Copies of this chain bind each other. A is one copy, B any other.
Amino acid sequence: MHVALLGGTGDIGEGLALRVGRDTDHDVTIGSRDAEKAQAVADDYTDALGTGNSFDGHANPDAAAKADIAICCVPAYHLTDTIEAVADDLGDAVLVSPAVGMKRDESGMHYNPPGVGSVTELAAKTAPSDTPVAGAFHNLAAGKLAALDADLNWDVPVVATDEAAREPVVSLVADIDGLRPLVAGDLSNAAEIESLTPLLINLAQHNDGMHDLGVHFE
């Protein structure tokens, strides 16, 4: 498959690019609002991986046009802008939303969903109506994800509009070493997954020796 990381120049994009590049046979294209930045970062990832696998970089619409799976790696507040910018170029690609809306106060991080219930559902509402949409990768600690010497043992709950959206995303997750895809139903179940991310941050803040936390269900 061909994976496009829209807004893939940030920290979650880096980790996904390096892990997909190292662990799978899938092609990865880095997208950015700025095509030159996308190519420069793609070159950096190619150097960082050091395996001969290479990434290419393009403006987000051109990256989306190449994709079987387009993962929207931008913060929640850039989600709708980014999806609207690539709407005409997604074709049959599955759009994947990993973003989580949070707010911080003196007690820590809190889940702060948009009015439609979750960021993943906002992605679906913003995307063209015939675009298959999935939610995944919400709970990955970006720093550990990008540290390729770190072994992962994390579960990745996947919600999706339908089987056409779910199957390729589950397959992609399973291809990454140390990630286990778990089916969590349709997009209306996304809020409970997104809620985990502020909890992970709060637990890392309050417990000695815990950082870059992920989740494992057992």
Surface stretch bound by B, among A34-42, A86-94, A124-132, A196-204: A196-204
Binding site for B on A (CB under 8 A): 105, 107-108, 110-111, 153-154, 157, 182-186, 188-189, 191-193, 195-196, 198-200, 202-203, 205-207, 210, 213-218
Query: For the complex, would chain A's binding face be called helix, strand, loop or mixed by DSSP majority?
Result: mixed
Report B-chain residues with C-beta under 8 Å of the C-beta of A182: 203, 206-207, 210
Shortest Cβ distance from residue A161 to the other chain B in the assembled complex, whole angstroms: 12
Partner of A203, one of B111, B184, B188, B200: B184
Report B-chain residues with C-beta under 8 Å of the C-beta of A199: 157, 184, 189, 192-193, 196
CB-based contact B183/A206 at 8 Å: yes
Shortest Cβ distance from residue A191 to the other chain B in the assembled complex, whole angstroms: 7
Taking A184-B206, A215-B216 as given, write out 7 further A-B residue pairs in contact, using a Cβ cutoff of 8 Å, ordered by the A residue number: A105-B188, A107-B189, A153-B218, A157-B203, A191-B195, A192-B195, A215-B217
CB-based contact B111/A191 at 8 Å: yes
CA distance A216 to B207 in the complex (A): 14
CB-based contact A202/B185 at 8 Å: yes
CB-based contact A213/B217 at 8 Å: yes
Most central of A189, A191, A192, A205 by chain B CB within 10 Å: A192
